[in-house]
Amino acid sequence: MRTAILHFCLCAWAMPVVAVAAADDLDFFESRIRPVLREHCGECHSRQAGDPEGDLSFDSRADFLAAAGIAVAGDPDRSLLVQAIRYDGDLQMPPAGKLPPEVIRDVEEWVRRGMAWPDDGSRSTAAFDIASRKAAHWCWQPPQRSPAPTVRDSAWCRDDLDRFVLARLENAGLTPAPEASQTALARRASEVLTGLPPDPEAVAALVADTDPRAFEAYVDRLLASPHFGERFARHWLDVVRYAETRGHEFDFAIPNAWRYRDWVVEAFNNDLPYDQFVREQIAGDLVDPPRLDPQSGANRSVVGTGFWLLGEEVHGPVDIAQDEADRIDNRVDTFGKAFLGLALGCARCHDHKFDAISAADYYAIAGMVMSSSYRQAPYEVLGANRDVAMRLAAADTKARQTLLPLAAALAGESGADIESQIIAADHAPGDGETVIADYTQGPRSTPIIADAAAWGTAAVPAGQPTLVSVEGSPARLRLDPLGHAQSDATWSTASSTGERDPAPLGGVDRAGRVLRTPKVRCDQGVVWHRVRGNLQIYVVVDSYVMLTGGPLYGSHLMTIDTKGEWQWVRQDLRKDMAWDAPHTVHVEYAAIAGEAGVAESVAAIEQPQRTDPEFSARVNQTLESESFDWTSPAATAAVNEAERLAAARAAIASEARLASATAPAILDGNGIDQCVLLKGSAARRGDRVPRRFLEAIDGASQPSWPEHSSGRKELADRVLDPANPLTARVIVNRIWHHLFGRGLVPTTDNFGVLGEAPTDPQARALLDTLAVRFAAEGWSMKRLIKEIVTSSTWRMSSQRDPVAVEKDPLNLLLHHYPLRRLEGEAIRDSILAVSGSLDRTVGGPPVEVFLTDFQQGRGRPGPGPLDGAGRRSIYVKVRRNFLSGFLLAFDAPVPFQAMGRRNVTNVPAQSLALMNDPFVAEQAARWARKAVADADLTPQQRIDQMVREAFARGPTNDELQGALAFLTTQADRHGVSFTEQPRHEAVWADFAHALFNAKEFIFVP
């Protein structure tokens, strides 16, 4: 019997080298093979000459064995080594010229006979030893909670974390800077926690509040503000290389990517516990039960999986398999950096050079990514429609139980054991066929994988009774001859309310209508579909989704209308690719209109031949014959019953919710184990690696990963397991980094050997203690942030003590609060805030990015408004190929991989932007207009107000006098008298422009 899940292995042929060899085989090796390897390969592939090329050396048996996949014992034709020396493919070795034919024959013979190689007792000189690497580096050791150290000045400490910081300072003979003023703290907390300046009124209220816990209350208000979520969401978006287009040549959209962005904003605002935040990004589609929006019932969890899908994608890649490998690499790498602080991507081409991460670890996780495909999820209606689908399935079962005996009886068939006659006996696939999905087999059919509820919960078994209306006559019953996956006509009216995938793929409103087969390895470039109805059929090859009408791969997509009949449909993928090597495929069927059915999906050159069971055909022949009397009492009763059941069913179907917003999300599939790709090349497959978590954390023997699923749910479990030493540390460190401008581990995305370790043992103890508590106390990010922000450490002023600066010039010990240069987003948002132009709406579709004439190129959109419609920067559309020039000048990241720590540069372009960017000039004018509106203010009061808005403090006397002098002379330059026209807008705009250009505007002490 065929297993229901078409699990397969992409590379079962890569077998280990035979270890025991006969003596004559060894002689053959010594006399004929070893000299060849030495003479023709040794120059490059030997450790004696430094690092061997491609990490492949022929020095010893151990080295050769370590090069997994280089050859297959017994099968020269499938051995890379042999292919290379034959000059068969891309890899041609040795490069200097093809070896003589007799030498090639010898090597073939050696491989055929099992690749005997004497055990010389050697160990690979570069043996990769996870245990010793793990033991040698701090990040793999479990974090331990340490007692707070004792300090001399315990009165200074508000919180345990202060004791760790103070102990370091006291050890170094330093004292912490005095506490910053309330005004300074008000501005610092507001900019750091919300990315916006405080209202002067809020500052005044804090200063006036005599409650000793006034600052705590102020911080609570900031954390409760929706702008907190916007601020910290932007930090997270840096980590996940967030963009709303796919870059590359034409910069196509990632439709509805902003739904993920809003998901992040909401997560921070609702203080979604970090473990759930992680779980939903890794496997929100598999979280059961999902987190639902309390008002709308929308599935929130699934939107988190957009995380995986935010990378660059290439359209029309000639080497589609390599393109997949690159795409998966970006996902694996981002996953590793974001959640684990590990550079997993470094283990793509070889075992990690420094960290306890093997290439096998990388491909174990790559398999999970490969098993996960893309969809636009109609997340608003997933839950409601799943209920509808389950009730429909129950109704169908009931209808079958009721009507099948009635129909059989009408046709004169005996009632015994009908079911066993209806479903086809096992039919083995014909020669050269790869069955992708088979929905004809009743309960043993391929399980339904779909992007929503349209295709029900299981395949409809053959013989399902259906009601056929006949013009001018009573309705009739007939049996559906084939088992199949079915989408009712109701679901073909589903509509998405957001963006669709680019045409032609998005030519059909696919969301909510997609049936996805398992993914299989396919040697044939022709796929046959046995389908009924009006369908879009999309053969997804190597998970390539960029069917945007560009060159290549148009043949992956077709539409068909079978006019209600079952039909075999042929799709030839060889029009676009040679198909000279296996590719992975799955098929996605989307109903275009009406009812649609899919019975089988088969990769084969010739049309598959099937013998359908006769029972249904026999019954139908009788029921459809001219002589059959549909007015007989029995027929009438059966039809009446069928109509009653149909009406009940229609009532259920009417509850389907058909319109929904969509979000990019993962559609889970069957589990696929990936092969190690030698040097990361899709053309060079090594050993298969079962999906599992990192060996350094979970050991070498781990429970099997599921076959029916990618295993991301299990992956999330392992990431969040208490035994994982990294997850809590990494996020605690990220938060510390955002609050102090520098993490306790400065390299926020890399805790490995090439990252920077914690500065000193106290820093490590502090990080570990915070991490252990963070996880133990419920993973609340807001709570951690509040604890840090209200500590004495965070409240230090930015005033620098000369002694401390001499001893610790880089402020590694935190003897003062570092002066922070605001990020581009915070600068832009602060400009909008003080000018009165800020639109404080939280969430929603992005506003198009403003582009200058200098920003040209393919896929250029019509430029957006200069002021971004007053929206916060997080809502400005992130187009990979057209990033905001203003934000880029201030180090906004180019989104291609995790960037948890931005560069903080000082470049003239920043000054030029503040001096001459028309956006800044426009905002200065608006600020001036706002400032002069109140005619009752004196110039002094107006100056005071504007300085407070900009810097959250009043002007000094020098500043006030300087400002007045400036206004007077500047008015002269504008040809007006300041005394006569103290509210001249252009003059005040110049004053506003000066405040924007003052360093205090972009630097926060």
Partner 1 sequence: MPRSHHHCRRFRGLPLSRRDLLRQAGTGFGAVAAAALLHRDAARAASTGTLSALHHAARATSVIFLYMDGGVSQVDSFDPKPRLKQDAGKSPHSLFKVDATQFNNVGTILPSPWEFKHYGASGTPVSDLFPHMGSVIDDLAVIRSMTSEFPEHTNANYFLHTGSGLQGRPSMGAWTTYGLGSDNDNLPGYMVINGGLIPPGGLDNFTNGFLPATYQGSIIKPTAAGLANVRPEETSAAHQPAVLELARLLDRGFAASLATGTAAPDALESAIANQELAYRMQTEVPALLDLAGETAATKRAYGLESDYEPTRIFAAECLLARRMVERGVRFVELTCPNTGADRWDQHGGLRKGHQNNARAVDQPIATLIRDLKARGLLDSTLVVWAGEFGRTPFAQGTDGRDHNPQAYSIWMAGGGVKGGGVVGATDDYGYRVVEKKFTIHDLHATMLHLLGIDHTRLTYRFSGRDMRLTDVAGEVMTDVLA
Q: Which pair of structure tokens corresponds to residue 344? A: 């997993």
Nearest-angstrom CA–CA distance, 894 and 899: 9
Residue nearer to partner 1 on the CB measure, 251 or 695: 251
Min dist CB 834 to partner 1, Å, is: 15
Residue nearer to partner 1 on the CB measure, 25 or 326: 326
The size of the chain, in residues, is 1005
Q: Which pair of structure tokens corresponds to residue 644? A: 């009653």
Residue nearer to partner 1 on the CB measure, 563 or 854: 854
Close Cβ partners of 259 (under 8 Å, ≥ 6 residues apart): 303, 306, 379, 498, 661, 662, 663, 664
Q: Count Cβ atoms within 10 A of the Cβ of residue 457 and give its class: 0-12 exposed, 13-18 middle, 19 or more buried.
A: middle
Residue nearer to partner 1 on the CB measure, 845 or 1005: 1005
Min dist CB 319 to partner 1, Å, is: 7
Min dist CB 749 to partner 1, Å, is: 8
Per DSSP bridges, beta strands 583-603 and 485-487 are: antiparallel
The answer to whether 562 and 531 have CB atoms below 8 angstroms apart is yes
Q: For residue 38, give the DSSP letter.
A: I
User: What own/partner pairs with CB < 8 Å and gap ≥ 24 does 938-945 have?
Assistant: 939/964, 939/967, 939/978, 939/982, 940/964, 942/988, 943/967, 943/991, 945/200
Residue nearer to partner 1 on the CB measure, 53 or 75: 53
Min dist CB 788 to partner 1, Å, is: 22
Residue nearer to partner 1 on the CB measure, 102 or 580: 580
3-state helix/strand/coil string of 181-219: CHHHHHHHHHHHHHCCCCCHHHHHHHHHCCCCCHHHHHH
* 3-state DSSP percent of the chain in helix, strand and coil, to 5: 45, 10, 45
Residue nearer to partner 1 on the CB measure, 430 or 582: 582
Min dist CB 584 to partner 1, Å, is: 18
Reduced to 3 states (helix: H, G, I; strand: E, B; else coil), residue 515 is strand
Beta bridge partner(s), residue 588: 516, 538
Min dist CB 857 to partner 1, Å, is: 4
Task: Name the CA radius of gyration of the chain, rounded.
Answer: 34
Q: Which of 488, 289, 496 shows the shortest CA–CA distance to 389?
A: 488
Reduced to 3 states (helix: H, G, I; strand: E, B; else coil), residue 527 is strand
Residue nearer to partner 1 on the CB measure, 453 or 889: 889
Residue nearer to partner 1 on the CB measure, 17 or 1002: 1002
Nearest-angstrom CA–CA distance, 407 and 478: 7
Min dist CB 177 to partner 1, Å, is: 10
Instruction: Show the CA angle centred on residue 27, arms to residues 22 and 28, nearest 5°.
Output: 95
3-state helix/strand/coil string of 720-785: HCCCCCCHHHHHHHHHHHHHHCCCCCCCCCCCCCCCCCCCCHHHHHHHHHHHHHHHHCCCCHHHHH
Q: Which of 215, 221, 222, 167 shows the shortest CA–CA distance to 191?
A: 222
Nearest-angstrom CA–CA distance, 247 and 415: 62
Nearest-angstrom CA–CA distance, 352 and 350: 6
Residue nearer to partner 1 on the CB measure, 463 or 824: 824
3-state helix/strand/coil string of 622-672: HHHCCCCCCCCHHHHHHHHHHHHHHHHHHHHHCCCCCEECCEEEEEECCCC
Residue nearer to partner 1 on the CB measure, 660 or 873: 873
Nearest-angstrom CA–CA distance, 728 and 716: 13
Min dist CB 680 to partner 1, Å, is: 11
Residue nearer to partner 1 on the CB measure, 126 or 909: 909
Inter-CA distances, 839 with 310, 559, 670, Å: 27, 45, 45
Residue nearer to partner 1 on the CB measure, 256 or 881: 881
The answer to whether 663 and 254 have CB atoms below 8 angstroms apart is no
Beta bridge partner(s), residue 560: 535
Residue nearer to partner 1 on the CB measure, 521 or 679: 679
CA 366 to chain centre: 13
Q: Which of 304, 299, 300, 291 shows the shortest CA–CA distance to 257?
A: 304
Min dist CB 785 to partner 1, Å, is: 24
Residue nearer to partner 1 on the CB measure, 198 or 824: 824
Inter-CA distances, 178 with 503, 550, 795, 800, Å: 62, 63, 8, 10
Residue nearer to partner 1 on the CB measure, 404 or 946: 946
Min dist CB 807 to partner 1, Å, is: 9
3-state helix/strand/coil string of 429-446: CCCCCEEEEECCCHHHCC
Per DSSP bridges, beta strands 495-496 and 659-660 are: parallel
Residue nearer to partner 1 on the CB measure, 690 or 954: 954
Residue nearer to partner 1 on the CB measure, 201 or 806: 806
Residue by residue, DSSP assigns 873-911 as: GGGB--BTTB--HHHHHTT---SSS--SS------HHHH
Min dist CB 57 to partner 1, Å, is: 16
Nearest-angstrom CA–CA distance, 176 and 158: 13
